[in-house]
Amino acid sequence: MVRCFKIEANIMTTTTDLDYTKYWDAGFPFKTYLEDEVEKHRELWRGIYRTHDTPEWAAARVEETGGPWRLLVIAEDWCGDASNSVPVLARLAEAASNLELKIVKRDANPDLMDAYRTDGSESIPMAIVLDADFEPVGRWGPRPAELQEFVIGEKRRGERPVAEVYRESRRWYASDGGETTLRELIDVLEAAGRAGRAPPTARRLQ
C-alpha cells in the first residue's frame, strides 16, 4: 500500500517548467471527481463533504488574501489523508469567491507529482496554489503538521502496528474537524499575498 506522508506548507520560491494551465484544464471539479472518479472510500469522501461547514472566519481570511487563487490538488481516492482533507478544501473553495479547486490524479500525472515529492516520496494529497497567471505560489500537504509529526514519529519508533497508527490518525481527523487543514492552507494563501503575488483586493473567479 502506498502511504501518504509529510507536511509542506510554504510559499513557493521557485517554479518549474510544467504547464500548469494544462493540468488545470484537465482537472476535475470536486463534485465531478466525487461522483465519477471516487470508487474507494466513497462514503467517507461523501460523508466528510456533506457534514463539513466552512467557518465564517475561514472564508473571510481567504477573501482578504487577494487572488484569485486556484487550488490544484493531487490526490487518489484510496488515500485516507485525501479523503479527510480534500472535501474540507473543496468546501472552503465553495465558500470563498476568490478560490477555486480542481483535482488531478497522482498516478495519471507522474511529471507533476515528481515536481512535488516530499522527501523523495510521492506523498498525497498535495495542494498546489496557483495565481491568476497559473504560476505556482504555494503548496500544502499531505497532512496537517501535528498529525504528520505523530505518524512519522510512530513509524520511526516501530513499536506500534501500522494499522493502529492509522486508526489513531482517523480519530485525530475526526476530532479536529478539518480546522487545522484550513488554518495551514490559509497560512499559505496569506504568505503568497504578502509576497506581492496578489493584488490587495480579492477578485471573484469567473
What is the pLDDT at residue 196?
A: 66
Instruction: Answer yes or no: is 33 within a domain.
Output: yes
| The pLDDT of residue 14 is above 90 | no
Using 50, 70 and 90 to split pLDDT, how confident is the model at 206?
very low
Instruction: Answer yes or no: is 141 within a domain.
Output: yes
Instruction: Answer yes or no: is 201 within a domain.
Output: no
Instruction: Answer yes or no: is 2 within a domain.
Output: no
Instruction: Answer yes or no: is 1 within a domain.
Output: no
Around 160, how many Cα atoms within 13 Å sit in the side-chain half-sphere?
A: 14
Using 50, 70 and 90 to split pLDDT, how confident is the model at 61?
very high
Tell me how far apart the terminal alpha carbons of the chain are, to the nearest angstrom: 39
What is the torsional sign of CA 204, 103, 23, 2?
positive
Instruction: Answer yes or no: is 202 within a domain.
Output: no
| The pLDDT of residue 201 is above 80 | no
Instruction: Answer yes or no: is 111 within a domain.
Output: yes
| The pLDDT of residue 8 is above 80 | no
Q: How many domains does the chain have?
A: 1
Helices (H), the chain: 20-26, 30-32, 42-51, 56-63, 80-95, 110-115, 145-157, 162-176, 179-192
Domain of 64: which CATH number? 3.40.30.10
Range of the domain at 152: 8-195
Structure confidence by residue, pLDDT tens digits, 73-107: 999 999 999 999 999 999 999 999 999 999 999 99
Structure confidence by residue, pLDDT tens digits, 100-151: 999 999 999 999 999 999 888 898 999 999 999 999 999 999 999 999 999 8
Instruction: Answer yes or no: is 82 within a domain.
Output: yes
pTM of the model: 0.87
Q: Which residue has the cell 514519529?
A: 153
Using 50, 70 and 90 to split pLDDT, how confident is the model at 155?
confident
